[in-house]
Structures are given as C-alpha cells and as structure tokens.
Amino acid sequence: MIVVLIGYMGSGKSTLGKELARSLSYSFLDLDDYIAEKETASISEIFKSKGEIYFRKKETEYLNEVINSSENIVLALGGGTPCYSNNMPLLINNTNVKSFYLKLSIPLLVDRLFTEKEKRPLISHLTSKEDLTEFIGKHLFERSQYYSQSQYMINTDRKTQLEILDELKAQLI
C-alpha cells in the first residue's frame, strides 16, 4: 500500500510521514527529495535551469513510478503536486493508494511558516505576517479543490502529533 500525504507547505506532511512510516514499518519518501535525487539537482535548480513545465512533467512521471511500486510506502507530496497534470486522478484511481489531506488553518500555517520562510523559496520574499496570510489564503483557495479530493481529510489544528498519527492509522485499518 502507498499512503499519500497531501496538504499545503508546513502542514506536517514530511514530519508526520516519517513517524507514520516508522510506526507502520513502511518506507518514507518525500516526492520532492525523490525528484531531486533522480534529477541530481535541487528543485529550485530544476526550476531555474529547465523551467516549471519540465519539473511538472518529471513530477508526474516520478509520482507514477512511486505509486505503482509494490513496496509499502508513506509518500509526502509537494504542496503543488495534486494541482497539476491530473495527479489527483492518478491517486484516486489507484487501488493501492490511500490519500490523506492534512488540513491546517491559515493562522496556524502562517505561524509555522513565518519563522522558516527563508528555507522556502516560494514565500521567502514575503516580509510580514499579513502578506504571508494573504499569499497562503490565495493559494489555499486555488488548491483546496484538489486537496479535498483525497480519500480522507484530517483536520490537524491544535492536535498533537500522536493524535494525528492515531487518526491516520485508524483510517488504514
């Protein structure tokens, strides 16, 4: 089985994914890391040298590769992955995939991301919490129609990592 974690940047996909994989004895894979390894370049380098269209094609190619694996994997997607190249139908129509939308409110996303925005090229240029709030709100408005196609949605607001992991595991039984 492939457990796919979907959500906005900062929603906890990688952190929770690693813990979920460990507790299930699955492999953990972050799709962006997988792409960077396969392409021998960072995501930002791929965008700069080959452009977003190339990246999105490769993203779909590698997503297909991973979800058609016979391994048990917890896969954390990039925040934009579900929104391009019919990637959500790829996930929805694969009987080996269980998809989870990790939903975190805008104020909590802002609190998490503002302190680490230098590490995230998409938001590094934003100087105030107000600008970040507006940016995230606009993005979530555009992306939520894709995220909400996940088989399961887990509202992660004000929940501990253990509570979220328990909810994820309960849906897998």
Nearest CA-CA partner of 164 in 18, 28, 33: 18
- H-type helices in the chain, by residue range? 13-24, 31-39, 43-67, 87-92, 106-114, 129-147, 161-172
> What is the per-residue burial (b if ≥16 Cβ within 10 Å, else e) of 119-131?
eeeebeebeeeee
Q: What is the pLDDT of residues 78-131, one digit of tens each?
A: 999 999 999 999 999 999 999 999 999 999 999 999 998 877 878 888 999 999
Tokens of 100: 């989870």
Contact 82, 88 (CB under 8 A): yes
Q: What is the pLDDT of residues 29-52, one digit of tens each?
A: 999 999 999 999 998 899 889 988
DSSP at 124: T
- Residue 168 pLDDT class (50, 70, 90 cuts): very high
pTM score, whole prediction = 0.95
Between the alpha carbon of residue 88 and those of residues 19, 39, 77, the distances in Å are 24, 23, 11
Domains recognised in the chain with CATH numbers:
2-172 (3.40.50.300)
